[in-house]
Structure 1
Amino acid sequence: MSQLSNKAISLICVEKRRATEDVIVITLAHQQKQVIAFSPGQYITLSATIEGKAYDRCYTISSCPEQSEGIEIIVKRVSQGAMSNWLLDQLGVGDIIQASEACGQFHLARSNKPKLLLLSAGVGVTPLLSMLRHIAKSHLSYEVIFHHSAKTFRDIIAADELSALGDQYPHLTISYNLTRERANSNSNQYSGHICDQMLQRICTDVPQRDVFVCGPNSYMERVQQILTKQGLPSNQYFQEDFEIAP
């Protein structure tokens, strides 16, 4: 049996599209054509029975509330990942899947500062992408620095959209660090893993910002240590665990 709450809802898959070599974007809509309420940064829990075994897995919503065509989630293929691989290979357009209502405390409503620093790695970009889309579409007056860590430039999810947001939104600065590829020295890219010196170049006023971080635990631990060293108060640090479950 599913472990979802009594507030489970039925969603229909309306679109699947590839984001990178091993990542897809799935668009889900309410089966009864109702609006799916959520705050940017929150997640839903999907439930499916695969080869006779029930699975429940959390997926952060990457779209923003202003998007009317349902919600989007980003799914990465994982070795031995029963749910993720089922979503990639078996869930078809028109299929119904059970889900929880949106929940989670990692969202913009927790911030009370006009300046934000958003840091992510891998598919941890998902909740921050929702926040960025919401800020841009709602014309909110945040000053935002967004920095993302990826293995190579081809592994950056929604790279074209992020670039366009950076061009359209005057108070948004976007940069990346690539851990397995030499960065373009004439662009907003850095080589290697994020470190104290790199973050100082990316953001010169860390203590003045609320910071939202999402990625693997090892990444978040490293980033939190760097931010603390740079004087960020603990009550301005928010993180969302994003270890990928099978």
Structure 2
Amino acid sequence: MPSPARLFFPLRVCGVAPEAGASVLTFEVPQRLRSAFRYQSGQYLTLRASVGGEQLERQYAICSAPHEAPLQVAIKHGQGAMAAWIQHRLAPGSELPVAPPAGAFTVAAEPARRRHYLGVCIGSGVTALYSLLKHLLHSEPRSRFTLLIGEQDHASTLFLPALAELRRRLGERLRCVLVFSCARPGAPAGLPLYHGRLDQDTLARICAREVDLDSVDLALVVGSPAMMDELSGLLQRAGLPRQRIRTAGD
């Protein structure tokens, strides 16, 4: 249902790009709204649209980073009426009512800091982590980030080519580990790949080969509420203290 108390502003959609079963929307923010739409990585936008005669509002994580020029969100196909309307009806040049950025799943960057971040997500939860890792690795040149993504297969994994390119440029400062539930053909861009479910056994194998949890200063976990609880529990049972874990629901 619409939220009358929230302020919405019309933003022009200047780009609609396909991305692994999703649409990435790029918004043009006019000068007069730059202050209102200043954002931090880890935040989201609320979009409003009239779909089938009904006013809908949906929240989507920002996938761009503050040091990048465009303001972007990624919207997975098949996630409700709004997502279907965006996939089939929205075109560059359209205007959408958009509420300013909100959300507290953010990390204050400190340029002198040397930290090891671990991001863990399932499916489209990678969107917020993609923004966060770009921001933190840009703002903290001595920090590093390990990203663990659970998905169906390579074709369903958001930002996979971009992550592979970032990995090429940043070297060991960025590590990406994939866990695919479906063993379908397709190269995972040369990144470490595990098959099956992201469960305790898989996490134990990943920790033995890919990431030392003792070196992790902060784990960032994204997913549905139940999935975040499960992933947080997996990390704790693997030896990471709860105080070093932040979920998008905290």
TM interval, short-chain normalised: 0.7 to 0.9
Q: Comparing 104-113 with 48-57, which one deviates more in the overlay?
A: 104-113
1:90 is aligned to 2:89: yes
Identify the residue that residue 180 of structure 1 maps to in structure 2: 182
**Aligned positions of 1:111-150 closer than 5 A:** 114-138=115-139, 140-150=141-151
CA distance in 1, matches of 2:44, 2:183: 31
SS of the residue aligned with 1:162?
helix
Amino acid at match of 1:229: R
Q: Secondary structure at the match of 2:147?
A: strand
Letter in structure 2 aligned against 1:227: L
Q: Deviations over 1:37-92 (max 9, x none)?
A: 111010011111222211111011000111113x111111226x111111111122
TM-aligned CA deviation for residue 28 of structure 1: 1.2
2:103 matched residue in structure 1: 104
What are the residue-to-residue correspondences of 1:69-84 with 2, within 5 Å? 69=70, 71-78=71-78, 81-84=80-83
**Cα deviations across residues 12-42 of structure 1 (Å, max 9, x unaligned)?**
100011112x311111122456433111010
The CA distance in 1 between the partners of 2:53 and 2:19, in whole Å, is: 30
Give the secondary-structure state (helix, strand or coil) at the position aligned to 2:19: strand
The answer for unaligned runs of 5 or more in structure 2 is: none
- How far 1:206 sits from its partner (Å)? 4.6
Identify the match of residue 223 of structure 1 among 228, 231, 238.
231
Distance of aligned partners of 1:78 and 1:13 in 2 relative to their CA distance in 1, 3 Å threshold: same
In structure 2, relative to structure 1, the CA distance for the partners of 1:228 and 1:65 (3 Å cut) is: same
Which of 210, 215, 220 aligns to 2:218? It is: 210
Q: Contact (CA 8 Å) 1:4, 1:56: kept in 2 or not? A: no
Distance 2:247 2:63 in 1: 16
Tell me the residue number matched to 1:244.
none
1:168 corresponds in structure 2 to 169
With over 3 angstroms needed to count, the CA separation of the structure-2 counterparts of 1:4 and 1:172, relative to structure 1, is farther
Partner Cα distance (1:67, 1:33) in 2 = 19
Normalised by the size of structure 2, how large is the TM-score? 0.85
* Corresponding position: 1:23 with 2:22: yes
CA contact (8 A) 1:119 1:213 kept: yes
Contact 2:26 2:72 in 1 (8 A): yes
2: distance between equivalents of 1:84 and 1:133? 25
The aligned residue for residue 12 of structure 2 is: 12
2-side partners of 1:206 and 1:90: how far apart? 48
Q: Alpha-carbon deviations, 1:161-218, whole Å to 9, x = none?
A: 1011112113111110100116979851001111234322332225742110112344
Provide the alpha-carbon RMSD of the alignment. Answer: 2.6
CA shift in 2, pair 1:88/1:8, >3 Å:
same
Supply the distance in 2 between the matched residues of 1:29 and 1:116 (Cα, whole angstroms). Answer: 31
Change (3 A) 1:110 1:56: farther
C-alpha contact (below 8 Å) 2:151/2:181 kept by paired residues? yes
SS in 1 for 2:232: helix
Amino acid aligned to 2:198:
I
